[in-house]
Amino acid sequence: MGSKEKTREIVNYIFNNPNKSIAELAKHFDMTRQGIHLIIQKNSDLRNQRLKIKKQEEIKLAGDIQMYIKKNPEVSIPRILENASDRRISKSTLLRIVEKYDISLNKSIKVDDVIINQMIRYMEEYPMKKQKEIADRFNLSESYVGLLIQKFNMPYNLKRKQKIYLKASELALYVKEHPEKTYQEIANKFNVSKESVINQIKRNNISYVSKLKKEKKEIDINALRTFINDNPELSVKRIAKHFNVAEATINMRIKKYEIQYKAKRNKNKP
Report the alpha-carbon distance of residue 248 to residue 185 in Å, rounded: 24
pLDDT digits (tens, 9 = 90+) for 198-246: 888 988 899 888 765 444 567 888 889 889 988 888 888 889 888 888 7
pLDDT the model gives residue 86 = 86
pLDDT digits (tens, 9 = 90+) for 121-179: 888 887 778 888 888 888 777 877 888 888 888 888 654 444 567 888 899 999 899 88
What distances in angstroms separate CA 252 from CA 221, 236, 242, 255, 266, one per listed residue?
11, 11, 16, 5, 20
Backbone angles phi, psi at 72, to 5 degrees: -130, 75
Report the alpha-carbon distance of residue 102 to residue 80 in Å, rounded: 16
**pTM higher than 0.75 for the full model?**
no
Q: Which of 224, 223, 167 is nearest to 191 (CA)?
A: 167
pLDDT digits (tens, 9 = 90+) for 28-60: 998 898 889 999 999 999 999 999 998 999 999
pLDDT the model gives residue 264 = 67
